[in-house]
Amino acid sequence: MEWTEMEERAERALLVSLDTGEFDAQASLDELYELVKSAGAEPVSSVMQKRPAPDTAFCVGSGMIEEIAQACRIQEIDLLVFDRELTPTQIRNIEDKTEVRVVDRTMLILDIFAQRARSSEGKLQVELAQLKYMLPRLAGKGTQLSRLGGGVGTRGPGETKLESDRRHIRRRITALREQLEQVEKRREQVRRRREKDGVITVALVGYTNAGKSTLMNQLTQAGVLAEDKLFATLDPTARALKLPGGKTVMLIDTVGLVRRLPHHLVQAFRSTLEQAAEADIILNVCDASSPEARVHLEVTETLLAELGCGDRPIIPVMNKCDLVPALMDLPVVGGAVRISALHGGGMQELLQAIEENLPIKMQIVDLLLPFAQAGLAARIRKEGEIQKEEYVAEGLSLTASIPPELVAAVEPYRIEK
Ligand SMILES: Nc1nc2c(ncn2[C@@H]2O[C@H](COP(=O)(O)OP(=O)(O)OP(=O)(O)O)[C@@H](O)[C@H]2O)c(=O)[nH]1
Ligand SMILES: [Mg+2]
């Protein structure tokens, strides 16, 4: 007899969806399938039940749960993934009935976030969101905590990561909040400095997997990680981008959106979304090869409007056009730009669209203009805005906000105040 050691196999997952008619259950289940793969597990099969409302004990009906339990044994399932949030009671009941670990949609997304967070801020935010989600779900059952470190996929259980002590968790939550506040303060300082220097920011937003990071790479050779897994980016990454006209803007990559993003997560990632919301120009990137491209563009736009971006230019960017050649023959709608971030198609058009939407960023300067420079003073009056002026022996002393075109001209006359 010969024994061969096998490689660790991925967890086999059974996906469970409940169609109550509140949302497109099939589209959501399709996305759940991608999410499960992203988490490193293997989606083996899925089941959908139509019901007016979730069952309080098992989410699905009691007959259905028996069928699921049986399927788990036959298909050697290690993990049940429900496409909605479950109550602590439901999780316990389902686990007791099926003897298989149960994860809900939010836990799955949090787990992917935890695997992918790179910056210290991202890591802090994910841990905070996980703890906040788990705390009410402990329900006196200390063993449930082991999920936290364990996660989905092939990684081993992480029972040691946390003690099953709620007080400990609460203390940790407080500490995380404080650390995050510090990080946010630093970010705010950077933002203010950029604002003062008149830096123009361009944010890439859109659904996960739309190709934002690939576009960022294509435009800046930034070396931002891009891969065919959902949520490749969890931290906003900023890089300088020089436009053909000579101006330099700050390009910001952001976390991808996901359908029915649980509100705990929107909250957790507020600061990254805020960064996008503050940008001067927003590129709303979508995967044009997806049948849902248009819906994605609209959902993103609505979300941006909710975040108060209504007054900023939002450029719709149809990416992956190499996959849909027919699209190139259609007329463009709503100022959309068609590109292939992967192959570099449409980059000139995109850069041009950015240039056309550049805001006029005023910069505040203190000047001492010699009397001979009366012409320049007149230009400042016309194109900029004078905040304070005073005639002194050497000429005209003034504080003014000026448009970028005037920056070079006034440079010799700048003074420190
Ligand atoms: N065919 C094709 N594939 C592309 C194109 N742009 C991106 N992709 C692929 O799409 C996948 C996702 O790209 P990413 O750039 O990581 O997507 P993202 O929007 O940054 O995703 P998140 O960071 O998860 O929000 C990768 O496999 C890319 O190679 C394109 O123009 N054409
Ligand atoms: Mg990305």
pLDDT tens digits, residue range 328-365?
666 666 789 999 999 999 999 999 999 999 887 788 88
Is the confidence at residue 323, as pLDDT, over 80?
A: yes
Query: Mind giving me the DSSP string for 154-216?
Result: SPPP-GGGS-S-HHHHHHHHHHHHHHHHHHHHHHHHHHHHHHHTT-EEEEEEEBTTSSHHHHH
**Axis crossing angle, helix 120-138 with helix 88-98, rounded to the nearest 10:** 80
Q: In angstroms, what is the span from residue 335 Cα to ligand 1's centroid?
A: 22
Measured by CA distance, the residue closest to atom 16 of ligand 1 is 226
Question: Are residue 204 and residue 335 in the same domain, yes or no?
Answer: yes
Mean pLDDT, the chain, as a whole number? 83
Please give the residue that has the higher pLDDT: either 270 or 12: 12
Question: Are residue 259 and residue 350 in the same domain, yes or no?
Answer: yes
pLDDT at site 165: 63
Last residue of a domain, one of 144, 179, 214: 179
Is the confidence at residue 87, as pLDDT, over 60?
A: yes
Question: Are residue 214 and residue 339 in the same domain, yes or no?
Answer: yes
Q: In angstroms, what is the span from residue 176 Cα to ligand 2's centroid?
A: 25
Question: Are residue 17 and residue 121 in the same domain, yes or no?
Answer: no
Whether 189 is in a domain gets the answer: no
Q: Give the ligand 1 atom nearest the CA of 285.
A: 19
Reported confidence tier of residue 142, pLDDT bands at 50, 70, 90: very low
Question: Are residue 296 and residue 333 in the same domain, yes or no?
Answer: yes
Question: Are residue 338 and residue 377 in the same domain, yes or no?
Answer: no
Whether 188 is in a domain gets the answer: no
Number of domains in the chain: 4
Question: Are residue 285 and residue 311 in the same domain, yes or no?
Answer: yes
Please give the residue that has the higher pLDDT: either 247 or 78: 78
pLDDT at site 397: 94
Q: In angstroms, what is the span from residue 224 Cα to ligand 1's centroid?
A: 11
Neighbours of ion ligand 2 (CB under 5 A): 212-213, 232-233
Question: Are residue 336 and residue 279 in the same domain, yes or no?
Answer: yes
Query: Mind giving me the DSSP string for 271-317?
Result: HHHHHHHT-SEEEEEEETTSTTHHHHHHHHHHHHHHTT-TTS-EEEE
**How distant, in Å, are the alpha carbons of 9, 44, 177, 205, 289 from that of 338?**
41, 36, 41, 16, 12
Question: Are residue 249 and residue 344 in the same domain, yes or no?
Answer: yes
Question: Are residue 65 and residue 21 in the same domain, yes or no?
Answer: yes
The finding on whether 323 has its CB within 6 A of some atom of ligand 1 is: yes
The finding on whether 260 has its CB within 6 A of some atom of ligand 1 is: no
Is the confidence at residue 99, as pLDDT, over 70?
A: yes
How many Å apart are CA 344 and CA 376, to the nearest integer? 43
**Domain enclosing residue 221, as ranges:** 199-356
Q: In angstroms, what is the span from residue 19 Cα to ligand 1's centroid?
A: 30
Whole-structure pTM value: 0.72
The finding on whether 341 has its CB within 6 A of some atom of ligand 1 is: yes
Question: Are residue 154 and residue 61 in the same domain, yes or no?
Answer: no
The finding on whether 256 has its CB within 6 A of some atom of ligand 1 is: yes
Last residue of a domain, one of 320, 337, 356: 356
The finding on whether 227 has its CB within 6 A of some atom of ligand 1 is: yes
Q: In angstroms, what is the span from residue 245 Cα to ligand 2's centroid?
A: 27
Least distant ligand from the CA of 214: 1
Whether 372 is in a domain gets the answer: yes
